[in-house]
Amino acid sequence: MMFDLECDVYMGEEDMERQSLNVFRMRLLGARVIPVSSGSKTLKDATNEAIRDWVTNIENTYYIIGSVVGPHPYPEMVRDFQSIIGREAREQVLSLEGRLPDSLIACVGGGSNAMGLFYPFLNDTEVEMIGVEAAGMGLDTDKHSATLTRGRAGVLHGAMSYLLQDEYGQVSPVHSISAGLDYPGVGPEHAFLNITGRVNYGSITDQEALEAFQILSETEGIIPALESAHAVAYLLNNKEHFKDLTLIVLNLSGRGDKDVNLAARLLEVE
């Protein structure tokens, strides 16, 4: 048990299967991983269950979450922790290239890696920023999680942001090939950055992400997480836009080791 602290992690049953390597890692580090079988069996439902545990065991339990969602001050805390990504990226690009990048690209589910990359660059107005959501099986199907693209204002998990929901405010079941993007909400600060226009948000389908996953593996020998593969696919899909933007920081926020089983299964079927 690290730091002699008991750690319970709630994870959707479906995600435990999709991310079994991560489950193994967490257990190896001494955490207890508790499967959540309610609702869509993914991140949203795991968050519900973690909050229920928290309010039950409030006297001896601290709640933490890895994404920039949930009640204040969690989105702010997670952003600040994750902003090590942007601080290092900014320092390194300045020292290597002597200038700021033209463009930043990162995938957005709840949006922690993107917030972490973007935040230290927000005042550098010449730096373009692009967040990439999961279009799943297509934006015109009901199987995507492109919250900023297709959602509207709502309140979930103690924060107001964009939300994928039906006409009467019932949260929609969502889908993405990648567990990390499979969430019907998005961090409230992304909602703000979307409204102010400081960040542009696009989306990438499961299929496009899977192709980018292969391309980056073949060309660079880097196996990206399926989440991060959405950012790679955005770059590949928008070559024209990036033609004159020669210095781009793309956030490879996760390794694809955890996704190779899933990818192998999907690619073999084809």
Partner 1 sequence: MRIKNKFTQLKENGEKALITFITAGDPDLDTTERLVLEMERKGADIVELGLPFSDPLADGPVIQKSSQRALEGGVRTPDMFQLVRCLRKNTDIPLVILTYYNPVFSFGLKAFVKEAASAGVDGLIIPDLPLEESDELKKITSSQGVDLIYLLAPTSTDERIKRTDKKAGGFIYCVSITGVTGVREEFSSSIENLIKRIRKYTSLPLALGFGISNPQQAGLAAYYADGVIVGSALVKIVEQHGDNPDLLIKKVGEYVGSLKEGIPGQFSDFPI
Query: CB of 59: closest distance to partner 1 in angstroms?
Result: 7
Query: CB of 10: closest distance to partner 1 in angstroms?
Result: 13
> Closer CB to partner 1, residue 56 or residue 123?
56
Query: CB of 47: closest distance to partner 1 in angstroms?
Result: 9
Query: CB of 108: closest distance to partner 1 in angstroms?
Result: 21
Query: CB of 7: closest distance to partner 1 in angstroms?
Result: 20
Q: Which of 78, 129, 163, 232 binds partner 1 (CB under 8 A)?
A: 163
Q: Which of 110, 131, 151, 154 binds partner 1 (CB under 8 A)?
A: 154
> Closer CB to partner 1, residue 30 or residue 169?
169
The mark string for 180-219 relative to partner 1 (x by CB under 8 A, - otherwise) is ----------------------------------------
Binding span for partner 1 by CB under 8 A among 77-85, 140-148, 155-163, 222-230: 155-163
The mark string for 165-184 relative to partner 1 (x by CB under 8 A, - otherwise) is xxxxxxx-------------
Rounded Cα distance, 176 and 170, in Å = 19
Subset of residues 29 to 58 that bind partner 1, contact rule: CB under 8 A:
38-39, 44, 48, 51-52, 55-58
Query: CB of 74: closest distance to partner 1 in angstroms?
Result: 14
**Which long-range contacts (C-beta less than 8 Å, at least 24 apart) are formed by 92-98?**
93/247, 93/249, 97/247
Binding site for partner 1 (CB under 8 A): 38-39, 44, 48, 51-52, 55-59, 153-158, 163, 165-171
